[in-house]
Amino acid sequence: MNRATNPTGEAAGTGRLAFIWLFGGIIEWTIQYLNRWLYPSSAGGNLPFQAAAGDVCAVFFYLWKWPKMFALSRIRPQPADLVLGVMLGYLMTNIQAAMLGRSALNNDWLLTNPHRKLTFLCAVLIVPIAEELIYRAAILGSLLERTSTFWAVTLTVIAATIMHDVWWMALPGQILLCAAYVFRSRSLVSSITAHMVANALVFAPSLLIAFHVGIGKARA
């Protein structure tokens, strides 16, 4: 299970892994700093944009510079990958709700965000794909070639949680995403699906409320 599924794959070395980990984060942190400095009142509502910008820039750079690194993962989906992804995504949302209570699903800033649909798209589609390509395909896939499953997962979880604003809230989800990737023989589809489902369940309630509020204002 720990061996590469594609013989053309190329694992990243320690220096490259450190660069992969930091590059997207530096872009995201820079955007956050500029956003909080220029638009302090709306900075919190733009987090999905910032994460998407940093992650997408990083992924495109990696695909251009080290495309063989992503061949270590399995991209072709199987039904079990999708089923496991949906189940884990639902579990991730329930764990977050148990940790935070009802506030886990409370994203009131979406009600006043004029770009809420694009924000939802970033959070549910762009960010999950980009983050899974970085943390599971590039980092975890390379570490599995160089060390044991335990240490590969541990190091990946640490790297991923540090990049989140509230690391302890991201910790259970990152463990489950790594578990999906390893258990399903390095399936990116399983971890991407889980990530998408979890984010969708968190953001969807507030988006639906915002949608109905908008209809109400239009009819008034």
Average pLDDT, consecutive stretches of 10 residues, N- to C-terminus, the chain (220 residues): 53 84 82 63 61 86 88 93 96 87 59 69 90 95 94 96 87 96 96 95 68 47
Residue 131, pLDDT score? 94
Instruction: Using alpha carbons, list the distances in angstroms from residue 131 to 55, 134, 178, 210, 213.
Output: 6, 5, 12, 27, 32
Residue 114, pLDDT score? 62
- Greatest Cα pair distance in the chain: 62
Domain boundaries, the chain: 14-219
Residue 4, pLDDT score? 45
For the segment 25-69, what is each residue's pLDDT rounded down to a tens digit?
888 777 766 666 655 555 555 567 777 888 888 899 988 988 888
In this prediction the pTM is: 0.84
Nearest Cα to 62, choosing from 125, 135, 6?
A: 135
